[in-house]
Chain A
């Protein structure tokens, strides 16, 4: 009986997680367009629903009913596989993400995470690494020069930015003596990691921007020079898959920043429910992503590589050394 309850809980949590992640891009696109509009003294979507709230639904219906076009010269199998490969890893990563401590509902202890791995951080980075395959396959299979250029750029960018990203969290792991995200958050109960690891946060956040391929590092889909980058040839629901995966990664990077550097669900000053604190912090970082997008221009490709290899990598290494010397 207990086994059935436990299994049912896991299935329920996974289903809930997938539902939330699939539906969250709807309000996020609305929010992004609204914020973009107001930053540019426009209003954003206004006509569908109250202040355009139903606009993402209308867009979704449009994408679903559009022709699913596959170029004649494309590799059909890889072309169909790529959106799924791009969509799955951000969803898988959320399995390892804790959203709070254990809560008890109706006498049953419910953990606010699907799985508490002792190497959760390693798992997260390993799975994010897979995400690049979807992009490369998508660009290559489409057999279009813009798509190939976009996916090559993405490939180089992801690989060079995953290194400083991985190095940046080593300081956090040293402080928490653990790679479990739950332990990392518990270790920040008194002082958030941002106090000890400002450089680590900076490197992680910038690398996260590059990993999510958002402005100022959205070289892979630079409209001006590449059409739309790796998903130039995609249309309809397959294009929507790439969009959902992009928003899931934005969310993922925000969640990781909050967990690793901003104390997870530990609140300060105002006693709010832990989950609310967590969501507020994540919302702030998602807003920061959107805010950056409509403030900064795009970096040139060589600048992107120079920042990755000549600035972020040495910074993250120095951070490891300084943290190591100071705390051990």
Chain B
């Protein structure tokens, strides 16, 4: 009975703790669609990705298919606005706040005071050879894009995604604080 109690507590702790690592597109992002001049929304869960992979039969699709087959979800919210100030910092903060858990590591954080352009890239996972998730926040005064790829990605997948981005050269180390490379 005591063991059962301990097991129950552990199970509950795990169940309560798990969502902290999961990333969900905040609802407030979807509200921005009404203000945006252009909206792109992609929501693909694991089942839809498996289905899509079945139809990625072209030779050109082979690499993407192998990557997509492994994934659990792809979610994109992209909004373009006619004027600046259509979205607030709190809209972006709702995304960032979910990425503060230890499971996520900020790999790139670019802020341009001059242009107001920001780009943030987060990786999930402790495994140095594999990434368990990717979130990109790209924010301009007239554009806000959030990309969430849920599931295992090899560094080579990131390279293929970003062309010559060169992320494979990044040593994906577990739990290291980002070092400031430059500042203005």
A and B bind: no
